[in-house]
Chains A and B, each alone.
Chain A
């Protein structure tokens, strides 16, 4: 983040040596590259370890939102992703909950620990989305919530006396659940993603994918990708934020082949070939959640948690939040700092 800021001290020193004051360079000078192997070991590569230690001590926040019609297995999937009961409902199927009349936003926080690293995970559920007879504008409460979190963060940032670590309630990732109709996206899916892909990272997933055969899955995914492209919907990882060629190749493969991930979730274990696996037992076979031949849950998990977790947070902070912030500051003609503490 400090790339590109000119070193003011060096400038001052240079003006003493050279009589005429030089104008500040518009483009920052490229730092001279030194290969430490030639000079001996400096030790700057231990920064990774230092960062790791810090992260382990402080832990980190991750906020994931799930959106989709009721019954698409959102809660079960999140529980499966984080291998714990982090979603707001109990895992039994006979839930007696009634469909709410309007879209509600329910956030539940948990602290998960693994390998000494603490994660404060918040799962934000959106019951009532897409369940009514009239679903026009049912994404508005969701958009409002996301913007409210940006606003909260902005207010903290703009304070004179800022907290050392601003609590981050911004939504880092929004899993959008597509119903496995096998035909195409529903109008509601299009409208939601059109409005929200500019505000938050959307990862579309095909829910309850155990109802589609391999051919049906592949055809459906192709059709969905095409429809998203035709409608100008950029899901995460967005093409314009690929930082370098390596990112681009990796993400291109994910964007054009794997996504949207066709997933199956489960919180029950069954015995398969001597191992206990998470799955669904039907009279015609056992669907193994983590078997890549059966569904793409493992791909989703690796993508969200093991490889792109940090990037999801960064894109949220550097792009979506900054967009919001710029808009707010422009609208207000500059936000005055809030005096005092909360």
Chain B
């Protein structure tokens, strides 16, 4: 007899193989004033050149420009794993003279993705739900200000319950080390004061080794990450060429932890917490949205909305909340249950018949 070995320790491998086959979806939103190095950082993070064909508008054109939402998709493959990365950009944010409510299109976009998912989840064919929900928002803070500006606060307050926010300080090579520390502290204080929830990196397991725990704690303390991006490779007096920015007084190395937090950001965002970001989006943020939605449907005013939505369902253009009112969904579920039961009964009958015929056959053989 084999030693006591059931074999489900192989489950992670199975999951791994399945996810490798399935691939991995991730939607990352990048937001903040223009000119903070967002595009360069994304290119540095994912070693791509996503913004090659971008046309930057002139100042006079930006006067009356409203915020637009742009989506760019890129498939990255590494070590046999395919990641379908969708980048959501918000050009025009913070540009115009009057930026009041300029964050509303972003809020609507995020909620639209939730709504789409809710619709798909409640739908009949759930095999191929596309998850276009925004899993993470990298919010860029200017290194030139004295912390969060009024516009930053307004934006963060509008989206913090709807998306995982990771605040970063862009163009961090503008700051001396003591300035970076002071700015980070100021931002942390402001976030607490304004009660803005940013993405909380989960605590590492207690069985991790001390080194890892220390690294993890260091990384958490460096939030908001002060980052520098670069698409250029320079020879910084070291042996190998590195990504960096060459100035007359020295060269900033993007991947040097003494120069900026780029490595930390990459590690935490891409290498360790990609899956957790998706889970938090699904388990916490999306569920919160869903609960709010369905609750508002269950309220008395919802009856009218339900009947209205029944009629407007035909137009299929603008429907404020999930399509099917609760009553309809229940009906469908019951119908489907009925069908399933009937099918099961038939299956049992057929099985019984087969058994009978087999038994008869055996009897006749034996005879």
Contact = CB atoms under 8 A, between A and B. Distances in A.
Interface of A: 69-73, 93-95, 97, 99, 131-136, 179-191, 207-208, 210-211, 213-214, 227, 230-231, 280-288, 293-294
B5 interface: no
A207 B60 contact: no
Nearest to B245: A213
A212 to B, nearest CB: 9
B63 A70 contact: no
Contact of B149 (A99, A182, A287): A99
A235 to B, nearest CB: 15
A288 B59 CA distance: 31
B344 to A, nearest CB: 61
Given A179-B144, A210-B174, A284-B249, 16 more contacts: A131-B150, A133-B99, A133-B150, A133-B154, A179-B35, A180-B174, A183-B35, A187-B60, A189-B59, A191-B97, A211-B174, A282-B173, A282-B252, A284-B250, A285-B250, A293-B248
Contacts of B60: 187, 190, 227, 230-231
A214 B63 CA distance: 28
Nearest to B102: A133
Nearest to A94: B182
A283 B180 CA distance: 12
B257 to A, nearest CB: 10
10 closest A-B pairs by CB? A181-B35, A285-B250, A285-B249, A284-B250, A185-B59, A187-B63, A71-B145, A211-B174, A134-B98, A71-B144
B43 to A, nearest CB: 15
Contacts of B246: 213
B247 A93 contact: no
Nearest to A177: B144
Nearest to B33: A181
Contacts of A136: 97-98
Interface in B82-97: 95-97
Interface of B: 34-36, 56-60, 62-63, 95-100, 142-146, 149-151, 154, 171, 173-174, 176-179, 182, 245-253, 256, 258-259
Contact of B182 (A93, A188, A213): A93
Nearest to A190: B59
B86 to A, nearest CB: 24
B95 A134 contact: no
B142 A184 contact: no
A187 B151 contact: no
B249 A187 contact: no
Given A133-B154, A187-B60, A190-B59, A285 B96 contact: no
Contacts of A189: 59
28 contacts: A69-B145, A70-B145, A72-B144, A99-B150, A131-B149, A133-B98, A133-B154, A180-B35, A181-B35, A184-B56, A185-B59, A187-B60, A187-B97, A190-B60, A191-B97, A211-B171, A227-B60, A282-B176, A282-B177, A283-B259, A284-B251, A284-B253, A285-B247, A285-B250, A285-B251, A287-B247, A288-B249, A294-B248
Please indicate which of the listed interface residues B57, B145, B182 has the most CB atoms of chain A within 10 Å of its own CB.
B145
A244 to B, nearest CB: 34
Contacts of A230: 58, 60
Given A133-B151, A181-B35, A208-B174, A187 B96 contact: yes
Contacts of A293: 248
Please indicate which of the listed interface residues A186, A207, A284 has the most CB atoms of chain B within 10 Å of its own CB.
A284
B98 A183 contact: no
A153 to B, nearest CB: 31
A37 B256 CA distance: 70
A185 B97 CA distance: 13
A231 B253 CA distance: 38
Contacts of B174: 180, 208, 210-211
B339 to A, nearest CB: 55
Contacts of A69: 144-145
B204 to A, nearest CB: 28
A176 to B, nearest CB: 14
Contacts of A72: 144
A219 to B, nearest CB: 11
A71 B182 contact: no
A181 B56 CA distance: 12
A184 B247 contact: no
Nearest to A223: B58
Contacts of B151: 133
A288 B247 CA distance: 12
Contacts of B36: 181
A227 B248 CA distance: 27
Nearest to B152: A133
Contacts of B34: 181, 183
A133 B176 CA distance: 28
B21 to A, nearest CB: 42
A72 to B, nearest CB: 6
A227 B58 CA distance: 8
B249 A183 contact: no
B60 to A, nearest CB: 6
Contacts of A181: 34-36
A197 B118 CA distance: 55
A187 B150 contact: no
Contacts of A95: 146
A181 B96 CA distance: 15
A26 B129 CA distance: 89
Contact of B63 (A190, A208, A281, A283): A190
A186 to B, nearest CB: 6
Please indicate which of the listed interface residues A134, A227, A281, A286 has the most CB atoms of chain B within 10 Å of its own CB.
A134
